[in-house]
Amino acid sequence: MSLVELIAQADEHALAVSGLACLDRCVPLLGGGDEVLRPLWAGLADGAVGEEWGERLEKARGELPALFEEPGEDLAAPLARRMLDTAPDVPAEPAVREWADDCSLASLRIHQLLDPADDGSPVDARRAGRTDGVSPLVAAELRRQITVLELLSGPAPGGLRQVLAVSTEGRRVLRAVVSRRARGRA
């Protein structure tokens, strides 16, 4: 099943988890530590939605540094910040579906921007299942997004611990890519 189909079939909880996982993997671009989104993860595990979710979201927004005033050549960090800034204060339909879909696109686009082997093909085609010629970094992110949604939608849905493990691995990969790029510029 394609990523687009999985997102279309996901319930509110899966959509909130999926969007948060995409954001979590991109936190290294915002200069955030690995723990900055933990309260949101804990809230999803505890069923803390609504006001609690909004409060935890505001705290995370405040903990991550604002982006630079002058736009640079790097488009990846603003995409990551937009994922955080546009997160709904209450992860409910239809806002959470739109946010999860936007996070999916933004995360794939970020990985595409950071992968020198990428050919620049539209990420929409990748999400729909056309993966021929996809670069390694984008292919790995696509697999992670699909895995997250499959873990949450099976007959015996997986727990957030499994999803968090997938997200943590992706965050480590992106952190290494960002570090490698920074060394290349120095």
**What are the extents of the domains in the chain?**
3-185
User: What gap in Å lies between CA 73 and CA 149, rounded to an integer?
Assistant: 32
Closest Cα to residue 1, out of 109, 134, 146? 146
Nearest-CA neighbor of 173 among 126, 133, 151, 141?
141
CA–CA dist 109, 92 (Å, integer): 25
Q: What is the pLDDT of residue 125?
A: 72
| Threshold 0.85, pTM exceeds | yes
Query: Is 14 in a helix, a strand, or coil?
Result: helix
Predicted confidence pLDDT, tens digits, the chain (186 residues)? 899 999 999 999 999 999 999 999 998 888 878 889 999 999 888 776 667 899 999 999 998 866 544 344 478 889 999 999 999 999 999 999 999 999 999 999 999 999 877 777 777 777 777 767 788 899 999 999 999 999 988 666 567 889 999 999 999 999 998 888 778 765
DSSP state of 133: T
d(CA 92, CA 13): 8
